[in-house]
Structure 1
Amino acid sequence: MSHRTRIARSALATLSGATALSLVLAGCSDSGSSDGDGPAGGDLVIGVTSDPDTLFPWKATQFQAVNVLENIYGSLTELDSDMTVVPGLAEEWETSDDGLTLTFFLRDGVTFQDGSALDSADVVFSLESIKDEATAAVAASSLAAVESVEAPDEHTVELHLASPDASLPANLASVNMSILSSDDTEEELNGQPNGTGPFTFDDRVSSQSITLVRNEEFWGYPAGLGSVEFRVIPDESAIVSALQSGNVQMAVFDDPLVAQTAESGDVTVDPTAQLSYHALMLNATRGDLADVNVRLAVQCAIDRQQVLDTAALGEGEVTGPITSPAYRSDPQARPCPERDLDQAAEYLADSGRSDVTIDAIVSQGEYATSVNEAQNIQAQLAEAGITLELEVLESGAYVDRWVAGDFDAAVALNGGNPDPNGMYGRYFTSDGNLNAVAGYSSPELDELFAEGRSVEDPEERREIYRQISAHLEENAAWIWMFTSYSYTAMTSSVQGFTAMPNGSLRFLRTTALTS
């Protein structure tokens, strides 16, 4: 006997954040249009501040790249607007009683942009390639429990696990887990993406625009838009002007002040609370930061609410490590929940260091509040006798340094996930493929993350991730700051778009333009 998740397209299951634990259960995919009447047409222009730094989905971490690629490629599972796991390229799946085998049943008639048919060989190729260390896929650790991938027939895929993994269905929904054609290579796809999503790649003008067109062969309802152009406009004030003049019909801002200026005339702005989190990432393998007392001094010297107020007009919440709604960390359960310069001084004294200098990288262009955050943190640390040297980099250069773990500290905005293992399993485990970025791991964390994957009971999982959060805070692995909002600005002609708590633009597939 096995537990089977069967989905009918006509059924619609919704879960609140409080019940988002049941991620292995799926409701209907809301990946089609709202009425199923077919395309409405229209060519949408979205203003973005940076050109995507890659078109290869397994390596995409930059927000702009993710937003483009999630509309071109497909994954076995998807997340609906309530962050519930729903079918993607797999129309159903089942889990064996012992939790050690997940069997996915693929949709019939799915094709790639080049016309080739999706089959189980493509899924086996994709998942095995993501697992392969040589690929350097950023989500490889999401498959840590997977021992082998097999294809009993062309529409069935079996994942055999070393231990149960309750987080796997949610983790498979990431664009970093996209299913690619077994005939394609990274080099080819960086020039000509070849996906199964609601849009297909049409054209790219370097540093200016990327244009997608409706995929007439998409397995779901055809997209309502004829095309989507992501137009690069580096200055957000210029994007606001383009919106108000009608040259751009949509943009997503993270700076509330910019969002306020955009809302006028024909432009409305809708805020959406985000699972993403702002943090000062500390590399515990480098210099003075190798001493936990120095890291704790940094933690105690920062007033997180002041950073939030300065950078984002107070629109958000101070946060701990885990932002997944059902597992959310208590920001008061940390050393120095409020700024404490006396305690910071004690930690510095315990470290034996009187002169601490930390080099920090900062992105300019990937998100708007980064430099303001960095400068406020710098000023606060100076009051504690800690020097933060800032190196402001354009988005692509920042991502390159970040992925390589080539920094002492990084002012960062990281994406959240409805499952906490998806947030941190690849960072804070000793064999995590982004552990060089995290700069911290421990045997205790390795054991806790393994437990968190294997346990399905919601209460047990909550306690495990509470312990993980406490360990991260007590060792000041990073300094978690706040969660904030995204602000979706649209002209009145844009209809049917749904913003998501993970910042995804996947509901461009349900969007249309009215005249």
Structure 2
Amino acid sequence: MPRGALSAAALAATLSLALASCSSSSGSDSSGPAPGAEGTGGGKPLVVGVTSDPDTLFPWKATQFQAVNVLQNLYGTLTEFDKDLNVVPGLAESWDASEDGKTLTLKLRQGVTFADGSAFDSADVKSSLDKIMDEKTAAVARASLSSVKSVEAPDANTVVLKLSAPDAALPANLATVNMAMLSSDDTEEKLTATPNGTGPFTLGKRVPSQSITLTRNDAYWGAEKAKSPSVEFRVIPDESSIVSAMQSGNVQLAVFNDPLVAQTAEGGGTITVAKTPQLNYHVLQLNARRGELGDVNVRLAVQCAIDRKQVLDTAALGEGEVTGPNTAPAFKSDPDKRPCPTRDLAKAADYLGKAGKSGGVTIKTIVSQGEYATSVNEAQSLKAQLAEAKINLDLEVLESGAFVDRWVAADFDAAVALNGGRPDPDGSYGRYFTSDGNLNKVAGYSSDKLDKLFAEGKATTDQAARKAIYDQVAAELEDNAAWIWLFSGYTYTATTSGVQGFTPMANGSLQSLRATSVS
């Protein structure tokens, strides 16, 4: 995937670099090979152990980690990330910004086809971006295109974006699978059943709740085709059971969240484990538009009653670090700059008193079981700590798909969650905490001040100035206890002998499956 780079730091530094010209080098088979079959083109199949089945195969609405991991191997985006999260060309082989930063011209890669054999061109890009921006589509990345006034396709290989203001975050935002380019002839209903992308794999076979198999796309535009003829994502709900499957030779690769499971896997001697720090963050999301949490004093009481390090130590064996909202290195928040940087039960009681709730409050809280391993332990640690402050977390543990449905609908007072991080703070939070953000209902909080700060952050060209702006964003979020940021952790990539070419990434991406082989 890496092809000529635009660094994430440079992206954050200046708009002129973020939108600089870059350049580089180029049909879904519903039957496909059965899991375990070698298929055509040489190489051996790869089996990846996962704890949950994708909850959707439509890229514009994917929020579940497993769905994203599958879809990013089926679909292409205009820009991409390399292994170091530099922005590099994807379906757009180059892009140029006008002098005022309000026009972005993209030159598309030629000779690209969708899995069904149809040609990819500017009409597909215009159709995709227009639909993502249409509120009726309910695309989760709609807010990332808030600066785009119009999309023009002057010829088959050129797309012109007219912007309301310079947008330093746009190149990175275009690299997420929620911005996947779809054929203008396709519909959500059709793609939910049969994905049709430009990625290195096509859909082979799916057995719901058991496995989904991708087959190598021999028409893929990249300089190198996928190394493995097929990749099967095999659903094994428990991470410890995945270790057993790897030890018996039935699974060759898995990414764990539980450090104890990772230690167990590596201790067997036949499995190698790579530990990778992540941009994602563990968080107690508070819905400020529901019940007791509508009072900022109740939210601040929750913040002050939590020892984040204790949650980290209890749930993840201390493997990680306490974090504030911004987790990307160039914009990292100082977790000590919050109303209660350490646990303070006296302050928590004082805040509850100000809210007129000295007798305590109950907060209904949803928890996912299955998508990541530490969720229930985190929830139990939070519940025990908050009980000492007369704050009762009424926990409802849900299967991954049910949790996502409730989360997207904002049907919760609080949620114990693991959210993905991105190299640019606008991509991480612009869709959550702006009043017109398409996930603002899920975030449960916005303000005029945040709207102004996010707009300034996108339009600003100086790195130091952008860092200062997003520091103010973090302060606004922490001072109002919009959410309770807990910690950032690691992923643990386990491979058996013979697996080569897989590169773990700080954003949790499995895009390097295309470069992975089994000897």
Matching residue of 2:231? 228
* Alpha-carbon separation, structure 1, partners of 2:67 and 2:246: 22
Does residue 213 in structure 1 map to residue 218 in structure 2?
Answer: no
Match of 2:206 in 1: 204
Match of 2:323 in 1: 319
Aligned-pair CA distance for 1:210 = 0.4
1:369 to 341, 363, 374: 374
Aligned position for 1:256: 259
Q: Which residue of 2 aligns with 1:486?
A: 491
One of 349, 357, 368 as aligned partner of 1:345: 349
> How far off is 1:265 after superposition?
2.6
Counterparts in 2 of 1:113 and 1:19: CA distance versus 1, 3 Å: closer
Q: 1:103 aligns with which of 102, 105, 113?
A: 105
Q: What does 1:105-504 align with in structure 2 at a 5 Å threshold?
A: 105-220=107-222, 221-263=224-266, 264-353=268-357, 354-504=359-509
Q: Provide Cα deviations, 1:198-250, integer angstroms capped at 9, x if missing partner.
A: 11111100100000011101110111111000000111111010011110000
Structure 2 vs 1, CA of residues 222 and 147 (structure 1 numbering), >3 Å: closer, same or farther? same
Shift of 1:355: 2.3
Output the CA distance in 1 between the equivalents of 2:337 and 2:206.
48
2: distance between equivalents of 1:74 and 1:11? 15
Q: What fraction of aligned residue pairs are identical, expressed as a percent? A: 69
Match of 1:5?
none
Q: Secondary structure at the match of 1:427?
A: helix
Q: Using the alignment, how far apart are the partners of 2:10 and 2:314 within structure 1?
A: 30
| Structure 2 Cα separation of the partners of residues 186 and 88 of structure 1 | 23
CA–CA separation in structure 2 for the residues paired with 1:51 and 1:464 = 39
**CA offsets, 1:451-498, max 9 Å, x none?**
111111111111100000000000000000000000000011110110
Structure 2 partner of 1:73:
75
- Which residue does 2:31 correspond to in 1? none
Letter matched to residue 509 of structure 1: R
Cα shift at 1:17:
6.3
Give me the whole-angstrom Cα distance separating, in 2, the residues matched to 1:57 and 1:286: 30
Residue in structure 2 matched with residue 93 of structure 1 by the alignment: 95
Q: Normalising by the residue count of structure 2, what TM-score does the alignment of the two structures yield?
A: 0.94
| Residue 34 (structure 2) aligns with | none
SS in 1 for 2:509: coil
For the residue of structure 2 that corresponds to 1:418, the secondary structure is coil
Secondary structure of the structure 2 residue equivalent to 1:453: helix
Alpha carbons 2:43, 2:227 under 8 Å: kept: yes
State the shift of 1:509 in Å.
1.1
CA shift in 2, pair 1:86/1:40, >3 Å: farther
Deviation at 1:269, TM superposition (A): 0.5
Q: Aligned letter for 2:83?
A: S
Q: Give the Å deviation of 1:512.
A: 1.1
Who is 1:3 aligned against?
Answer: none
Q: 1:332: how far off? A: 0.6
Aligned-residue offset at 1:61: 0.3
Deviation (angstroms), 1:284:
0.2
- Contact between 2:19 and 2:104, CA under 8 Å: does it hold in 1? no
Cα distance in structure 2, aligned partners of 1:483 and 1:154: 43
CA contact 1:359–1:407 (8 Å) conserved in 2 = yes
The answer as to whether partners of 1:17 and 1:82 remain within 8 angstroms in 2 is: no
Q: d(CA) in 2 for partners of 1:485 and 1:391?
A: 26
Distance 1:19 1:91, change over 3 A: closer
- Confirm or deny: 8 A CA contact 2:166 2:459 kept in the other structure: yes
Distance in 1 separating the partners of 2:299 and 2:192: 39
Answer yes or no: is 1:62 the counterpart of 2:64. yes
Distance verdict in 2 for CA 1:338–1:25, change over 3 Å: farther
**Inter-partner Cα distance in structure 1 for 2:489 and 2:9:** 17
Which residue does the alignment assign to 1:34? none
CA shift for structure 1 position 120: 0.3
Distance 1:336 1:250 in 2: 41
Q: CA deviation at 1:24?
A: 4.0
Q: Could you tell me which runs of 5 or more consecutive residues in structure 1 were left unpaired when the two chains were aligned.
A: 1-8, 32-37
Q: Does structure 2 retain, via aligned residues, the 8 Å contact 1:40–1:513?
A: no
| 8 Å Cα contact 1:25-1:85 kept in structure 2 | no
Name 2:35's counterpart in structure 1: none
For 2:451 and 2:506, locate their aligned partners in 1 and report how far apart those are by CA, in whole Å: 28
**Cα displacement (A) at 1:10:** 9.6
Output the CA distance in 2 between the equivalents of 1:24 and 1:86: 11
Q: Is the 8 A contact 2:11 2:169 kept in 1?
A: no
Aligned equivalents of 1:431, 1:323: Cα separation in 2: 23
CA contact 1:24–1:166 (8 Å) conserved in 2: yes
CA-atom RMSD, angstroms?
A: 1.7
SS of match in other structure, 1:332? coil
Please give the TM-score of this superposition, normalised by the length of structure 1: 0.95
In 2 relative to 1, CA 20–39 (structure 1 residues): closer, same or farther, beyond 3 Å?
Answer: farther
**8 Å CA contact 2:333, 2:474 repeated in 1:** yes
Change (3 A) 1:18 1:389: farther
Q: Structure 2 vs 1, CA of residues 29 and 227 (structure 1 numbering), >3 Å: closer, same or farther?
A: farther
Whole-Å Cα distance in 1 between the matches of residues 83 and 205 of structure 2? 29
Q: Is the 8 A contact 1:20 1:83 kept in 2?
A: no
Tell me, in whole angstroms, the C-alpha distance in 2 between the residues paired with 1:17 and 1:373: 32
Q: Contact conserved, 2:22 with 2:93, CA < 8 A, in 1?
A: no
Alignment CA distance shift 1:482-1:176 (3 Å)? same
The DSSP-based 3-state class of the residue aligned with 2:152 is strand
> Could you tell me whether the CA contact under 8 Å between 2:140 and 2:438 is conserved in 1?
yes
Query: 2:33: which partner in 1?
Result: none
CA distance 1:418–1:216, shift in 2 (3 Å): same
* Residue in structure 2 matched with residue 4 of structure 1 by the alignment: none
Q: Give the aligned residue type for 2:259.
A: P
Size of the alignment, in residue pairs?
500
- Structure 1 distance, partners of 2:506, 2:351, is 37
